[in-house]
Amino acid sequence: MSLLMLLSTAVVLFGQTSSQAPKPEDTEVWSPQPAIVTPGATCGAAPSDAIILFDGKNLDEWVSAKDHSPAQWIVAEGVMTVNKSAGNIETKRKFKNYQLHIEWRIPENITGSGQARGNS
């Protein structure tokens, strides 16, 4: 519904000379209806409106940042690992307004210093 239509509706509704004030439902706009989002079936499962970018199995939602060819990072045992020679990766889709959920692993016995400390 356009702003002009809303203003026209408001003028008609409020321009009436009736002794009764308009009911709230006469002036409320219910469009567009937001989609109903249901939580995941189990703890840690994604909600119904989530776009899964990595499912632990493949890099189907990722491409090389350099030339948009298929991403060449390593996927093993449900983990995505950087392949330095393959370069940076990015999602195939572009996002503007989102909630981001990230999970990562921290080494049990951290040794070394700087980037050599494990999951940096």
3-state secondary structure of 111: coil
pLDDT per position as a tens digit, 84-118: 999 999 999 999 988 888 877 777 788 888 777 76
- Cα separation of 102 and 92, whole Å? 17
Considering only residues 67 and 11, tell me which one the structure prediction assigns the higher pLDDT: 67
**How does residue 4 score in pLDDT terms, banded at 50, 70 and 90?**
very low
User: Can you give 47-72 as a three-state secondary structure string?
Assistant: CCCCCCCCCCCCCCCEEECCCCCECC
- The average confidence (pLDDT) of the chain is 82
Query: Do residues 49 and 37 lie in contact, with contact meaning Cβ atoms separated by under 8 Å?
Result: yes
Please give the radius of gyration of the chain, using alpha carbons only, rounded to the nearest integer.
25
3-state secondary structure of 90: strand
pLDDT per position as a tens digit, 11-27: 555 555 566 788 888 88
Q: Is the pLDDT of residue 7 over 70?
A: no
Beta partners for residue 74, in sequence order: 81
Predicted pLDDT at 23: 84
